[in-house]
Amino acid sequence: MGMQQQTYNAIARFVAQESGIKLSDGKAYMMESRLTPVMSEFGISSFEHLATQLMAATSELRQAVVDAMTTNESFFFRDRTPFDLFSNVMLPRVAEAKRANGQPLRIWCAAAATGQEPYSLAISVLENQTVLDGLDVSILATDISQAALGTAESGRYTQFEVQRGLSAQRLITHFDQEGGAWRVKPHLRELIEFKELNLLKSLHQVGKVDIVFCRNVLIYFDVETKAQVLGNIRKQMSNTGYLMLGAAETLVGVTDHFLPTAEHQNLFQPTS
Amino acid sequence: MKTCLIVDDSSVIRKVARRIIEDIGYEVDEAEDGREAFEKCTQSMPDAILVDWNMPVMTGLEFVKELRSYIGGESPKILFCTTENDVGHIAMALKAGANEYMMKPFDREIMESKFRDLDQK
């Protein structure tokens, strides 16, 4: 089932408007493979029809297309380094500042997807209780995709998924077995609040946060959108906070709201 | 080159595992049960061991216990690779001295990430 350039452009425009994700040319294969299941679910027979329907789509169809186009496979403790930095740099320093003013420490995972990243952060929080020394910590996990967040909230993963990045020790400490699947234990789940959120819209409901994980999201935005989103993120952050971006993401020429840290090129601190 | 001993009574699993572990960069040797594996270890201690649980002659768990109490047997990184997939078995394996645990079925990506984790332990 091939797709005309015109159809591709129309769907790509819809995805960009809804999610900020700019699909470059030549992503037709990705679009086809991700949207074909959505089309059969909604009984839509061709990409031309889909493009037409998106002009006046039901919210269910809009959400399904956004979910399909924005969700990527994830795994626990992905890339490892960000989590080492979280435990060794971010948590101890922010905790010190927080203890001085007696406030709780808030972490925001801005592209939570199916939950592997917020749960990895929650595991790291629990493993660093000595550093935190009784400090109140909470994690806000947001994503644009309702379907992904549903998985995240359920905390239920297949045997394959839990083996991607999770050590056996962490698995049996923080997960219960449920038939052939595994579910996060309440002690981990209760550290996290899940919320649907589009980064292109108002971020006020995020509240004040200290540590922000926003990895591999900005990479899909154009420079103006990046700058706008980063400006909004900055407004939600405490001055002593940290922003962790993905490995391929730099802010050179994008914004002066953040500066890279000496510790790592993808770890940033807000400018005041 | 680092060495890895694959211990499994299934020749199919040994073949699949060998291909992945050689790609990761290990020189691979094989054993069909815990007894044969233990004897190979006493001759030349590998850097890593991938071991099944249920095998004839000597099980993976018996092998790990025996190896860990043998002089020099504390050094290899041991990764279980088994269809036993419940909390009890995992806990037992870690307690006996295994470093990591992988549940079958696995894929290349899981195997690679487990070996990366072993390097850090």
pLDDT in tens, A234-261: 999 999 999 999 988 889 889 999 999 9
pLDDT score, position A4: 87
Q: Is it true that the peptide bond before A104 is cis, omega within 30 degrees of 0?
A: no
Q: Is A260 exposed, middle or buried (0-12, 13-18, 19+ CB in 10 A)?
A: middle
pLDDT score, position A262: 95
Give the torsion sign (CA, A54, A58, A63, A65): negative
The pLDDT tens digits of the residues spanning A56-109 come to 878 889 888 988 888 777 889 998 999 999 999 999 999 999 988 888 999 999
CATH number for the domain that contains residue A96? 3.40.50.150
Does A102 lie in the same domain as A52?
no
| pLDDT (average), residues B9-22 | 95
Does A123 lie in the same domain as A101?
yes
- Tell which of A80, A172, A176 to mutate to test the B interface (max B CBs under 10 Å): A172
Q: Domain range for residue A45?
A: 5-70
Facing B94 at nearest CB: one of A159, A163, A169:
A169
pLDDT score, position A247: 87
Least confident of A62-76, A114-128, A197-211: A62-76
Task: Check whether A214 has a pLDDT greater than 80.
Answer: yes
Does A100 lie in the same domain as A35?
no
Q: Quote the mean pLDDT of chain A.
A: 92
For residue A21, name the pLDDT band (cuts at 50, 70, 90): confident
In a domain, A107, yes or no: yes
Does A122 lie in the same domain as A41?
no
B interface with A, Cβ–Cβ < 8 A, is 85-87, 90-91, 93-94, 98, 100-103, 105-107, 109-110, 113-114, 117
Read off the tokens for B86: 């419940």
What's the domain count of chain A?
A: 2
Last residue in a domain, options A27, A49, A70: A70
In a domain, A91, yes or no: yes
In a domain, A152, yes or no: yes
**Closest chain A residue to B116, measured at CA:** A165
Does A235 lie in the same domain as A103?
yes
In a domain, A164, yes or no: yes
**Closest chain B residue to A161, measured at CA:** B110
Chain B contact for A56, CB < 8 A?
A: no
pLDDT score, position B77: 97
Residue that has been written with the tokens 């959505």 in this structure: A38
Does A49 lie in the same domain as A100?
no
Does A87 lie in the same domain as A65?
no
Fold designation for B2-120: Rossmann fold (3.40.50)
DSSP labels, B11-37 = HHHHHHHHHHHHHHTEEEEEESSHHHH
CB contact under 8 A, A168 and B100: yes
Last residue in a domain, options A25, A44, A70: A70
Residue ranges per structural domain of chain B? 2-120
With beta carbons under 8 A apart, name residues in chain A contacting B114: 163
In a domain, A76, yes or no: no
CB B37 within 8 A of CB B7: yes
- The closest alpha carbon to A189, from A204, A174, A178, belongs to A174
Task: Check whether A1 has a pLDDT greater than 60.
Answer: no
Instruction: Write the ipTM.
Output: 0.91
| pLDDT (average), residues A30-41 | 88
Element (H, E) at A176: strand A175-178
pLDDT score, position A2: 67
- Tell which of A78, A116, A123, A163 to mutate to test the B interface (max B CBs under 10 Å): A163
Does A227 lie in the same domain as A188?
yes
Chain B contact for A75, CB < 8 A?
A: yes
Strand partners, B4: B28, B48
pLDDT score, position A239: 94
| pLDDT (average), residues A159-167 | 92
CA–CA dist B100, B82 (Å, integer) = 11
Task: Check whether A220 has a pLDDT greater than 60.
Answer: yes
CATH number for the domain that contains residue A64? 1.10.155.10
CA–CA dist B95, B86 (Å, integer) = 14
With beta carbons under 8 A apart, name residues in chain B contacting A79: none
Task: Check whether A29 has a pLDDT greater than 90.
Answer: no
Does A228 lie in the same domain as A131?
yes
Does A230 lie in the same domain as A107?
yes
In a domain, A75, yes or no: no
Centre a 10 Å sphere on the Cβ of residue A173 and count the other Cβ atoms it contains. 16
Does A97 lie in the same domain as A151?
yes
pLDDT score, position A194: 97
CA–CA dist A23, A14 (Å, integer) = 10
Higher per-residue confidence, A132 vs B49: B49
Does A253 lie in the same domain as A188?
yes
In a domain, A251, yes or no: yes
Query: Residue B117 to residues A121, B77, B82: CA-CA distances in angstroms?
Result: 18, 10, 18
Last residue in a domain, options A25, A40, A70: A70
pLDDT score, position A90: 97
Least confident of A52-61, A91-100, A140-149, B79-88: A52-61
